[in-house]
Amino acid sequence: MTIHKEGYTSIAIVVLVIFVANALVHYFVSDNSFVVWATYSLSLLLFITVLQFFRNPRRRIITDENVILCPADGKVVVIEETEETEYFHDKRLQVSIFMSPVNVHINRNPVGGKVTFFRYHAGKYLVAWHPKSSTLNERTSIAVQTATGKEILFRQIAGAMARRIVWYVEEGSTVTQGEEFGFIKFGSRVDVFLPLGTKVDVSIGDKVSGGLTVLGRFD
């Protein structure tokens, strides 16, 4: 397992903060062993937490044009028919994955093909499971059309803690199923909008892994 490139700056800042905090404690209250050891413990906990958040585990991803891979690690929180109003403007099957701060936050292409639509929206930072987070929060929307003509849309949504969405695709580019398309820092959600009739292979409450779990199958 390695550390994702998006974590380098954050980890460096955390190390600097830990160094300064420990230096101040040693300078002002070095005779108070409780405060010193509490600072050590909190520093270690903070460092491990940030380190694990940016972990980048190796994964053997098997591509298949007939399936939709899960775009993120987390828990399935929504499976419902809904009106997709930004791009398709018709009814779609929505599957949403909530990513807690302890999950790997790399986002992966659920299908391969051509990026037919991309939009970034600045917005609010409602909790990721809020019903209106899909339309009010900071987010990106990406549509990909497969070689067989199937088209899906997936959306990165910032949560209450997330303050930065990163993406690596642009409209007109070609993407490979299972490869990284983005990263969201510190808690978030990913929505996937599938054609009606798609066979969904997950249930609400299931824990899923990006690039490994099969989300559904085209009919």
Q: How far apart are CA 143 and CA 118, in angstroms?
A: 7
| Burial (CB count <10 Å: 0-12, 13-18, 19+), residue 71 | buried
Among residues 141, 188, 203, 209, which one is catalytic? Answer: 188
Q: How far apart are CA 26 and CA 37, in angstroms?
A: 11
Q: Is 188 a catalytic residue?
A: yes
Question: What's the gap between Cα 8 and its chain centre?
Answer: 17
With contact defined as beta carbons under 8 Å apart, do 157 and 188 qualify? yes
Q: How far apart are CA 92 and CA 85, in angstroms?
A: 10
Q: How far apart are CA 39 and CA 214, in angstroms?
A: 43
Q: Give Cβ neighbours of residue 116 (< 8 Å, ≥ 6 apart).
A: 143, 144, 145, 151, 171
Length of the chain: 219
Query: Which residues are annotated as catalytic?
Result: 188
